[in-house]
Amino acid sequence: MQAVFFDLDGTLIDSRADFVSAINQTRRAFGLAELPFGQVVVHVGEGMRRLVSRTLPEIPEQLEEAAAYAQKQYGAHLLDHTTLYPGVAEALRVLGAAGWRRALVTNKPREFIRPILQGLGVLGEFEALVGGGDTQTFKPDPAPVLLAAERLGVRDLTGSWIVGDHFTDLEVGRRLGLRRCFCRYGFGDRRGEEYDLAVDSLAEVVEYLGASSQ
C-alpha cells in the first residue's frame, strides 16, 4: 500500500499574503514597522512560533505573547488571499482514483488545517491530516509523518513519497527512506537537500506517479 505525504504551504496552497498580513499586523500591534513581503515569506515553513521569533526579533521577551497574537490574527484571515495552486484539486483526485493513499503533513497549527482545506474544497481528498501540535516535534523530525502513516494504516513506507517545497519535507523524506518530490513553484528553501523528482506543478506528480506505479 503506497502513500503520498503532502506538505501544505507552498505545495498545495499559496498562503504567502495571509502570512505576511498576520505578521505585519502583529508588528504594528507591538509598535514595530512592517516588513517587506519577501522578508516574511522566507521564514515560513517551520511553524508559527518560529516564524514569529524570526520576524519579530526586536522583542524576544514578548515572544510568547506575540506568537499568540499572530496566531489569532492569522486564524481570523485564513482564506482572505490564500488559494490552491493550479491543478491541485484535480491532481489529488486523480491520485486517489489511482489507489494512492493521501495524507497531509504540515507544520501549520492543526486548528487551521480543516478550515483551509474545506474552504478550498479539497478536505475530502485526504485520508489523514497531521498538523503542528499533533506531535511534540515538527518536520523535519519524522514524528509527524510517522503519525500520518499510522493514521493511514501504512506500516511499510517502501515506495511511498513525500511532496513538498521546503527542506523540512526533503530532509524528513531522507530520514525515513521516502522518495522525495521537490515543488519548485513553492516558496520554501531546499537548503541543499536532494530529491528524486522536481516539478513545476502537481500535474507532473500525477504523470510521474501514474507511470511509476504501473
So which residues are the catalytic ones?
7
**Region of residue 45 (phi > 0: left; psi between -120 and 50: alpha; otherwise: beta):** left
What's the distance, CA 142 to chain centroid? 14
CA pseudo-torsion sign 199, 203, 208, 213 = positive
CA pseudo-torsion sign 48, 109, 18, 92 = positive
**Region of residue 33 (phi > 0: left; psi between -120 and 50: alpha; otherwise: beta):** beta
Task: Identify how many contiguous H helices and E strands the chain contains and give both numbers.
Answer: 9, 8
Q: Beta strand pairing status for 83-84 and 13-14?
A: antiparallel
